[in-house]
Structure 1
Amino acid sequence: MRPVVSQVLSEADDGGSRRPPAAAGATAAALLLSLCLGFPPSVAACPPDCLCASDIVSCSGRNLSTLPLDLPGYATRLDLSHGALAALPAGWIARPFDRLATLVLSRNAVARIEPDAFALTPHLLHLDLSSNRLAVLNASVFRGLEELEVLLLFGNRIVRIEPGAFGGLRGLRRLYLSGNRLEAFPLELYQGPAGPRNLTFLDLSSNRLRRAPVQSLLSLPAWQQAGIYLQGNPLVCDCALLALLEFWVWKRYRPLVDFRGDYPCGLGGDGAGARPSCAGQRQGAADNFLEAGTHRVEPGDWLRVPCPGLAPPTQGEPVAFWVAPRAVLRSPGDDPSGRLLVLPNGTLEIRGALLEDSGTYVCVAARGRPFDPGESPEATVSVGNSSVAPDAGSAHGGGAEHFNTAFTTLASCVISIVLVLLYLYLTPCRCREGRAGGGARGCGGRAVLLCSDPREVDSGERRSNGKRVAFLEPQAGDSDTGGPKTPAMNSAHGNTEGILKNGSRTVGQTLTDPAHVA
C-alpha cells in the first residue's frame, strides 16, 4: 500500500494546483490515521512493476523474485510468468485472493512448493506451473485447491510423484505432465482415495515411461481412456502394449488418431518400430478367424466365448484381456467370484452363468493387423431370456423384455375397457317420448338404452336376439305415480339375460311387469 500513501502525500504537497491545502492535508492525515489503526485503504493502486486492466494483473517479464505486497485483491487473473521465483512458501502471498481464478507462474525457477502454499487462493480454476524446476511433487502440495480444473506442470524435471500429491483435487479435469522425467505411470490419479474423480485429460507424453499398466488402463471408463496421451515415450512394444494400442486405434481415440506416428509397434505405417510376434496373429490369408456374435446360455450352465478376430494359436499362448461388464480379466484370479476366467488359448469361460453375466464382452488381444471394416472385438453374452441393449454394454436381467410384455398386456386391457365403455354409452338409441298408459317415460337424464333396431322398438316387435341393457338410477319426480321405482332390466319374453348394474336384484330373476319392459 506504500504507492497509495506516496500518491496521496504527493497530491497534498501539490495542493496549490489540485486542491486547497487544507483539504489535501486532511486527506493525507485521514489516510495515515487509517493505516496506523490497521484499516486498509479503500483504493488499491497497481504496483509499479505490473500492469493492471480491470480485474487482470500482469507482472510478467519483470524478473520478480518475490511477490509484491500491494497487489490488488480484486484480481481474477494474476500473471507472474517469466520471473525469478525460486520457491513458494506458505506465506508467499500476503493477502487473500478470494476472486482469483487463474494464476500463471510459468517460466520461473520454482523448485519447491510447501504445503498450504495456495491456502489464500481457494477458488483457483487454472494453475500454470509449467517450465519450472520441480523435481518431486510432495504429499498435499496442492492442498486447498478443491475447485481447480486445469493444472499445467509440463516442462519441469519431475521424476517422482508421492502418494497424496493430488489429494483433494476432486474437480481436476485436465492435467499436463508432458516433458518431465517420469518413469512410472501415476495410477494414483485414477485409483487414489482422495484424487480426481472427473479427470478427462492426462498428458504424459515425452517422459521416460517404458511400461504401461495395460490391464489397469483397460479398467478405466472409455471417457477417461480416450484422453490419455503416451506418445514420445520409450515404451517397450510387447504383446500387451500392442493389444492396447490396436484397441485404441479401433476406438479412434484422439491420442492415437493425432499422434499415431509417435507411438511404438509400427502404428505409423512407416515401418518404424518392429511389432512383436504374438501367438494368435494372422499367419496367412487363408486363416479362418472367429467372428463376433451373440452367445446364449441357460442359467447355471457353462459357456466358452472365443476371442473374436483372433486366429487359433499354432504355438504359445496369446495375450488376451477380456473387458467384462464388471472387471478386466487376464489371469484366473481377476474375477472375485472365480466363475470367469481366460483359458490359455484366449477363450473366455463362464462357469455357472448367472443373469447378471449378460452383457458385452470385449477381447483385447494382439492381432498384428488392423481391424477390417465392420469387424469388432466385442461379443454379446445372453443368459436365459435376458436381452442386452446394443449400446448398453451390460445386461439388466431381462428387465427390458419383461417391461415390454407387461406394457403390452396393460395396453390391451386399457383398449378393451375403452371399447366396452364406448359400446355401453355411445351406441345410438332412439327412445320413445311416451308410452301407452303412462306419462313421458323416455330416456331422459336417467337412462341410456342400448337398443336393437329402432324400427322394432316403434313397431313393438320383440326379438329374442335383440339384447337391451339399461343403467338406471332412481331420481325424484321421474314417475307420475308415487309408487316405488323399479330398476330397469334386460328381458326377452320375460327372461332376464343379465343385469350389469343393479343394487336390488340378482342375476336370473324373472320380471313380469310389462310396464318396465324396454
Structure 2
Amino acid sequence: MICAQGVAAPLVLSSLLLQLAGGSCPSGCLCASDILSCGSQGLEQLPAEMPASTATLDFSHNRLVRLEEGDFSGLPRLDTLRLAHNRLTRLSPGSFRNSSGLRHLDLSSNELHVVEQHYFQELLGLEELLLFNNRITRVESKALSGLSNLRRAYLSHNRLTDFPFFSIQEHSHPFLSTLDLSSNRMPKLPLEDIAALPASVQSGLFLHNNTLICECSMYSMFRHWEQRGYGSVKDYREEHTCLVYGERRASVRFFQHTRFFENCTLRVQSLLGEPAASLLAYEGDSVFLDCQTSLRGPQLTYLWVSPHQEYVAPPGNNVTLRMFPNGTLEIQAAKTEDSGVYLCMAVDRQQMRNETREVNVTVAVHRSEAEPFNTGFTTLLGCVVSLVLVLMYLYLTPCRCWCRKQPPAATPSPANECSAQSSILTPTPPATTEGPGRKASNNKHVVFLEPIKEVQNGRLRAALASDNPKLQHLRGDTDSITSVFSDTPIVP
C-alpha cells in the first residue's frame, strides 16, 4: 500500500511515526524528525498538542503575547526553543516546567519589560539565552542565579540602567564567557562587582554604546581591558563612548579623545580582578603601582626596585618616586625615562617569607587631540598670507607705465607704448627694441613672456606662428633676445 502511494508514502510514514511518538503535527506547521517549525503562521497561542519527540521547536514570527504554565511540559526532549519576533510581554511561573534539558532559548525581539526571577528557574541546563531587542528595564537579582551552565547571554538593545553583576560570579557561573549588555542606558558601572568577575567573563563583557558618564575609574577599567587585548574592547573601540559631565550632547569616543582624561590617575590594583603585569601611562600622569601580595599582617615591609636599579623604601626619594607604608609606589609626573620594569618585594620577617612582583610600565608621549585642527589652521593661514601678497602685488606696486611720463622718442614707434612683455614684479617699464643693434634696458626682470607681433633684429619671432597668449619656449638660436633668468640682454 505504501509503495502504491508513491510520493505520499513519506508523509504517511511520518504521520505514523508521530502517532507512535505520542502526538500529531499541528495544522500549518512543518514536522521533520525531531523538529517542529510553526514560524510565520500568525499564531496567537501555542497548539494544544505537539509531538512529544520534539527537540527543536520554532514559533518565531508569530503573535504570541504570553506563555502560560506548562506550555512545554509535554516536551521532555526539548533542546532548542525559538520564540523570537513575537509580542511576549510576560512569562507565567512554570512556563518551562519539565524542560530542564533546554539548552538554547531565543526570546529576542519581543516586548518583555522585566526579567523576573521565576522566568528561568527550571532551566538548569540552559547554555544560551537571547533577550536582545526587547524593552527590558530591569533584571531581577536572582533571575540568572540558578543558570549554572549558562555560557552566553545576550541582552543588548534594551533599556537597562543597571545589571546585577554580583549574581554571576565565578562560583555560580563557571562556564559563562559572553555577556552582551551593549546598547543600553547604563550611566554608571559597579566596578567592584565587575572586578569580582573572572577574567574569562571580563574579556567577553560587552558594554559599548551605553550612556556611561565619563569618569576616571571607568576610563581606567576600559584602558586596562584594551591593554590585555580583550575582544570586547578591541573589536568595538569606536563604539565605546561616554558623556562628558553627563550631557547627552557631549558624547566622546574615549579611546580616541584621551585629552578628557589627562588628569586621571592610572592605578595598578586589584580593581579588575587580577593584578596587572603591565601599564601604559602618559607623560605628566601620576601613576600608582600597588604591591600585590598574598602575605598578610602588620609586620610586612615593602621595597621597590626601579628600572634604574634604585632601591625605594618609604617615604621614597622625594624627587620622582614616593612610597606609602602599604607598599604603593607613586611615580610623580611620569616621564618617558621612567619606563621599565618595577620590582616589588614584600617581606614577612616573622615567618621568614617574601614575595616579589613585577610591573612593566610604559610612559608614552601624550598625543595631542588638537593636531588635526592645527594642520587645518596652518593651511588656512597660508591661504590668507598668499591672498594678502597677491593684493599687495596688485594694488601696492608703484605707478605703471601708462601713468608715468614717457621720455620723448626720436621717432614715434609702437615700441614706445606699453608692451605685453611688461614685467609683473618691477615698476620699471620693460625695455623695447627700438631698432637694429639697439640694446634693451638692463633693468628688465622677466617672469613670463607673451607673444608679441613685432619685428626684432630684422626677423619675425617664432611666436608669430600662434596667437595663443601662453608661455612660449625660448629658442636657443639667434632669434632669442633675452634670458629668462638674467638681467643682461643677450645680443647675437
Superposition TM-score tier, normalisation by shorter sequence: 0.5 to 0.7
Measured against aligned partners, the alpha-carbon deviations of 1:115-167 in whole angstroms (never above 9, x if no partner) come to: 11000322000000000000011221112100001101000101112232223
Code of the residue aligned with 1:256 in structure 2: it is: V
Equivalent positions of 1:82-231 (< 5 A) are: 82-93=61-72, 95-190=73-168, 196-231=173-208
Q: 2:392 maps to what in 1?
A: none
Cα shift readout 1:22-66 (whole Å, capped 9, x = no counterpart)? xxxxxxxxx9xxxxxxxx755644323111222221111112111
> What is the Cα deviation at residue 186 of structure 1?
2.0
**CA displacement at 1:250 relative to structure 2:** 1.3
CA distance in 2, matches of 1:164, 1:210: 22
Q: Confirm or deny: 8 A CA contact 2:322 2:332 kept in the other structure.
A: no
Secondary structure of 1:223 counterpart? helix
Deviation, 1:112, is: 0.7
In the alignment, what sits opposite 1:274? 260
Quick one: distance in 2 between partners of 1:303 and 1:114? 59
Aligned partner of 1:258 among 222, 231, 235: 235
Q: Output the CA distance in 2 between the equivalents of 1:276 and 1:307.
A: 27
1:311-330 residue CA offsets vs partner (Å, 9 max, x unmatched): xxxxxxxxxxxxxxxxxxxx
Q: CA RMSD in A?
A: 4.6
Q: TM-score, normalized by length of structure 2? A: 0.53
Query: Which residue does the alignment assign to 2:51?
Result: 72
Residue of structure 1 equivalent to 2:10: none
Rounded Cα–Cα distance in structure 2 between residues aligned with 1:164 and 1:298: 34
Q: Give the Cα–Cα distance (whole angstroms) in 1 for the partners of residues 78 and 91 of structure 2.
A: 19
**1:246 is aligned to 2:223:** yes
The whole-number CA distance in structure 2 between the counterparts of 1:287 and 1:224 is 30
Q: Secondary structure at the match of 2:57?
A: strand
2: distance between equivalents of 1:287 and 1:230? 26
SS in structure 2 at match of 1:274: helix
Residue equivalent to 1:63: 42
Distance 2:208 2:177 in 1: 17
Unaligned stretches of 5+ residues in structure 1:
1-10, 12-16, 19-30, 32-39, 310-344, 352-360, 392-518
The structure 2 residue matched to 1:303, chosen from 287, 301, 317, is: 301
Greater share of strand: 2
| Structure 2 residues without counterparts, runs of 5 or longer | 6-15, 243-251, 268-279, 308-320, 359-492
Paired residue type of 1:277: N
Q: Which string of whole-angstrom CA distances, capped at 9 and with x for unpartnered residues, describes residues 197-237 of structure 1?
A: 43221110000001011122122221221111100001111
Change over 3 Å in CA distance of 1:46–1:379 after alignment to 2: farther
Is the Cα–Cα contact under 8 Å of residues 60 and 82 in structure 1 kept in the other structure?
yes
Contact 2:105–2:126 (CA under 8 A) maintained in structure 1: yes
Find the residue that maps to 1:132 and give its secondary structure: coil
- What is the CA-CA distance between 1:254 and the residue it aligns to? 0.9
SS at match of 1:68: coil
Retained in 1: the 8 A contact 2:293–2:355?
A: no
Q: 1:277-292 maps to which residues of 2 (within 5 A)? A: 277-279=263-265, 285=283
Matches of 1:91 and 1:372, distance apart in 2: 69
CA contact (8 A) 1:292 1:376 kept: no
State the shift of 1:382 in Å.
5.4
Change (3 A) 1:379 1:123: farther
TM normalised by structure 1 equals 0.50
Whole-Å Cα distance in 2 between the matches of residues 236 and 185 of structure 1? Answer: 16
Distance 1:305 1:253, change over 3 A: farther
What is the letter of the counterpart of residue 217 of structure 1? I
Over the matched positions of the two proteins, sequence identity in percent amounts to 31
Q: Is the 2:44–2:63 contact (alpha carbons within 8 Å) kept by the matching residues of 1?
A: yes
Q: How does 1:9-28 map to 2 (within 5 A)?
A: none
| CA gap 1:222/1:73 in 2 versus in 1, 3 angstroms | same
Deviation at 1:242, TM superposition (A): 1.3
AA at the equivalent of 1:183: T
Q: 1:56 to 1:41 in 2, by over 3 A?
A: closer
What displacement does 1:183 show?
A: 0.5
1:49 — aligned with what?
28
